[in-house]
Structure 1
Amino acid sequence: MKAKDVLIGAFSTLVVTVIGGVCVYYATKEPELKSRELLTYSTRSSGDFAGDKERVAFTSISISNRGGRAANNVAASIEFKTNVIKDLSTDIASGTEESRNVTPEKATLKYPKLLPGEVITVDLLLSAPSTPSVSIRSDESLAVSEIALDERAEKRSEINKASSFIVPLSAFLFSLLIPIFYWRAKKSGMTEVLVSDKNNAAFLLLHNGLINEADEILSESVKSGRYDAYTLSNLALCKALKKEHDKAQAFMKAAKHKKRSGHAAAVIAFNDCIMSFLADKRPDAISSIRAAMRLSPKEIKKYCELSVHLDGCRSDADFVAILSGS
């Protein structure tokens, strides 16, 4: 394995480990409560009692602010499906203002402020056992049930336990897979695609007839140190279209200097095909387009449909047959 492959594998492992660690941190960390309010509630039924003349049930609802900041304009709505409320009382801190509106079916309680750590207990006397629908809100948030809060904490704990095993394992497996992926990508020519961003723009300009614009982009890429097959072979075609034949041959020779495979080799053959047609070397052009289609048929067919430089070849029977797969 080359040193470059080892470095790529090590760097990828580091990236995966860091990303995994960050994900685990945000997935499992406890909510930051000091800078915000957190309204919660819980419901508890004390059972029901039947006497000679009537039956009653008791339900208690606790409302609390577990955050680090006061909740303003807290409104609690406690609603039943039937008319069951016989009486209601609250246990609140001394000095806490309260307004209420109670009907047999619904109770609405309002508090201008609920301080951090403050708890309000609402005791309800009911004419029959019934489960209330509770909705509590403030100016900034909606209350969550204690059960849901506990489930979230339990889930975070489970994720934390699982991640302590999964993250290191995935990093190890990734470190094994990266060199293999890099080798396969290199073999298929994908690595040259990944490092050739400006080439895409130049390619579109070139094959839509904007030769000078494409030449400028590709020349700047080469000056900046780019030497991939796409940039060099596309620049070779630019020079050929501008009738700078010596430069065209030089750039094409440079593109072929390193052994290419996969799609990179297909693009070289595609550009070679157009250059051969321009030089009236039809047999070479047909041979090149056949090689390009063999290496990357789907993409090369699209390129042939795109390029204005192949307009004069579309009536060539052999050319058409190769593109159609005959």
Structure 2
Amino acid sequence: MAQFNFSNLTPDCQLDALESVGVYAQSGLLALNSYENRVYQFLADDNKRYVVKFYRPERLSDAQILEDHRFCEQLVEAEVPIVAPLKIQGQTLLHWQDVRFALFNSVGGRSFEVDNLAQLAQVGRYLGRLHQIGAQEPFRARPTLTLDDFIDKPLALLRSWLPDSIQKAFFAIAEQVRDEVCAQYRPTELIRLHGDCHPGNILWLDGPKLLDLDDARMGPAVQDIWMLLNGERQDQLIQLDTVLDGYEEFAHFPDQELKWIECLRAMRMIHYMGWLAKRWEDGAFQRAFPWFNSQQYWENQILALKEQLSALREAPLSRVLY
């Protein structure tokens, strides 16, 4: 696969790929909100709705994708409500010419309510179960959440990407954030994670439904917790206690990892900037994020990094003691 983009993934190619495994779309393929891969919902000739994910060429190896699929299967067996790829002709990772894809049942539901403590407690229980399974064996092909991947490589890319007019101001603060994160973030216990457990990857239909293990990786347990927290500090303390109370019905949570929440937030911020720069030649990114290469955007990021540096230097979140 010589291309790192989807220039060859035409509508005819998509339908041919599906038909190659005996799946026939009776409706058009409706694009869903995904940029790293191409994801579509459709109605098949069996009158069921499915979702097909076409994997971005060269981003992940077959072995890495299959580890994601196997983890999904293990979680389903453990009754963790996650949307897992379907087996078609005995395989979850499907190939047609140079296209790799997977098929999923289409799952409905409403948005997960991050300020609903009852919902948050239930999500916590399932994350505890997910981590209980995740700790049983390591990923061997999928990546680990590292400073190199989430800070150093994105900053190196941005050095060759940012306009000269903004470089000095941006890197003056970005390097301070990097140094603060490097001084604090020293994980020792790594487990298999969801990796991208933000509210948008959780649907609610008589309970939570976890979506999208595309960013599953090895890392500290707190990575799957901190993105569920929002609002003022007092709100986050209540949310943290709620989710961890549910979590610990199935797995022990290492409280020492709470001090890395702001480190992980900083890493995500910088990684996101680098991700957009890395994918900017993909027309879908330019259409979806037209503000990315504007002066205003980078000035806002400088302010955001200054605020994050202050957060890194504040006392970390901790559980409320009663």
TM range (shorter): under 0.3
Q: Which has the higher strand share?
A: 1
Q: Which has the larger radius of gyration?
A: 1
Query: 1 or 2 for the larger relative contact order (CA 8 Å, sep ≥6)?
Result: 2
Give TM-score scaled by structure 1 length: 0.20
Q: Which has the higher helix share?
A: 1
